[in-house]
Amino acid sequence: MNVVQKEIEKSNDLEKEDLSFWTPSNQWKSFIVSLTGLFLFLVPIPYQGQWTIGIGIIAEFLQNKFEVYLPTFMTGVLILSVLGTTVMKVGLRYQKQWATNSKFLRELLDVNWFWGIFRILGAVFAVMTLYELGPKFIWTGATGGTVLFDLIPVLTTWFLIAGFLMPLLLNFGLMEFIGTVVRGVMRPLFKLPGRSSIDALASWMGSGTVGVLITTQQYRVDFIQNAKHL
């Protein structure tokens, strides 16, 4: 069965679903939430002499408030990720119930050895940079210092805010609506489905970090991968 047939069957299944929940009250709630997501992610706002988006203002505020603590916090997160991955590997090896039954923990901590090694290296380099240990070329301001003290605070706040507020943009019908409207433009010009227009707009208006998050989420739920073949 090809992808088109699967999509047709999926559409038929949706038509058979009970839509009694779709009351005028719920429609208004969905509209208000989607409008909020549109404003936060896609509407440019003049701020301190430059154009940004709503979540950019929130991210910058948090970064300014917690910039001093973020390098230490993220170093701790890297160390915990290494410890958690190690414990998960041991738990799966001995078939511990808490390890085998928790899908969330497995997705979070059960990485292959290639990525496990990178987690270890990341934690080691972060500790060396934070406390200026070992060879200077690792923790100097031109290498590790730039990553830990300049790059990580920015990425942490953007990922945190965007990840927390992203459902407002994706889960209440706005992406489907805009994707349907601009499908005729996105497919001929960029060979991409209409839904990817949200990714593009979020990247153009705000930060590429937001576009990465949206694209990753859509790929994981199999929207973009299937739509490319329609």
pLDDT tens sequence across 105-138: 998 999 999 999 999 999 999 999 999 999 999 9
Of 204 and 90, more confident: 90
Q: Find the mean pLDDT for residues 92-102.
A: 89
Alpha carbon distance 188, 173 (integer Å): 24
The confidence score (pLDDT) of residue 139 equals: 94
Least confident interval from 28-32, 55-59, 193-197: 193-197
Q: Measure the CA–CA gap between 43 and 40, rounded to whole angstroms.
A: 7
- Angle 210-216-113 (CA atoms, 0-180°, nearest 5)? 120
Dist. CA 124–CA 130, nearest whole Å = 10
Prediction pTM value: 0.73
Contacts of 174 (CB under 8 A, 6+ apart): 34, 37, 38, 198
Least confident interval from 24-28, 34-38, 111-115, 221-225 = 221-225
Residue 224: per-residue pLDDT:
47
pLDDT score of 94 more than 50: yes
